């Protein structure tokens, strides 16, 4: 099982992530993020990473960390690298799909994280897990964006007069990041 996991991570690259979703799916997801962000002041960043870097696999193998913990650590790292934390209201959210492990992580910046209980995030991830286990990537990401949108709309709605100003200040790209 361990050898299979290593081979999967060594084999997959960004081209595989592009093939898993396809250009049509990427455009639809980008449009969904854009439409979502018109309803709140938050920022959603979608990242699909084909495989874990070897340093993360090493943590799993050598330190015997559960793969769920390793994927979570990687999502936190990507959150920082993509500067999702660097939004004006601290309400950026990363939806991170780890393709080789078929796992999704949602990392919310402190402005939103303090308003949404950890149990709600856990329930959200639980309901999304089946889509990714079954390789229904686009459907799972679509549902993840919907779930995050509900949270952001509830806690950071855009007022009618503020809508135009907010859209000029799109702080993170809407298109999915493929790694």
pLDDT digit string (tens) for 43-67?
A: 999 999 999 999 999 999 899 999 9
46 C-beta neighbours (distance < 10 Å), count: 25
Q: Where are the alpha helices (DSSP H) in 12-53?
A: 14-37
Q: What is the pTM of this model?
A: 0.93
Which position has the token pair 């049509």? 24
Task: Tokens for 51, please give them.
Answer: 């495989």
79-127 pLDDT per residue, tens: 999 999 999 999 999 999 999 999 999 999 999 999 999 999 999 999 9
Q: How far apart are the C-alpha atoms of 22 and 17, rounded to whole Å?
A: 8
8 A C-beta contact, residue 172 and residue 46: no
User: Residue 134 — pLDDT band, cuts 50, 70, 90?
Assistant: very high
Q: How far apart are the C-alpha atoms of 144 and 160, rounded to whole Å?
A: 25
Q: What is the pLDDT at residue 164?
A: 47
DSSP letter for 3, please.
H
Q: What is the pLDDT at residue 153?
A: 97
**Mean pLDDT across the chain:** 93
Q: How far apart are the C-alpha atoms of 147 and 17, rounded to whole Å?
A: 22
Q: Where are the alpha helices (DSSP H) in 41-104?
A: 54-62, 67-81
For 38, counting Cβ atoms within 10 Å of its Cβ (0-12 exposed, 13-18 middle, 19+ buried), the class is: exposed
Q: How far apart are the C-alpha atoms of 60 and 119, rounded to whole Å?
A: 26
């Amino acid at each position: 099982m361990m050898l299979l996991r290593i081979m999967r991570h060594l084999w997959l690259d960004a081209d595989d992530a592009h093939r898993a979703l396809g250009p049509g799916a990427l455009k639809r997801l980008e449009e969904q993020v854009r439409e979502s962000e018109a309803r709140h002041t938050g920022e959603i960043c979608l990242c699909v990473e084909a495989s874990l870097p070897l340093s993360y696999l090493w943590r799993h193998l050598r330190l015997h960390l559960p793969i769920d913990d390793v994927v979570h650590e990687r999502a936190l790292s990507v959150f920082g690298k993509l500067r999702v934390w660097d939004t004006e209201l601290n309400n950026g959210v990363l939806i991170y799909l780890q393709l080789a492990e078929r796992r999704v992580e949602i990392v919310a910046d402190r402005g939103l994280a303090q308003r949404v209980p950890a149990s709600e995030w856990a329930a959200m991830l639980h309901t999304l897990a089946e889509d990714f286990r079954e390789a229904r990537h686009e459907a799972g990401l679509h549902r993840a964006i919907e779930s995050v949108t509900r949270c952001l709309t509830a806690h950071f709605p855009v007022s009618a007069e503020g809508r135009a100003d907010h859209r000029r200040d799109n702080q993170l790209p809407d298109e999915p990041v493929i790694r």
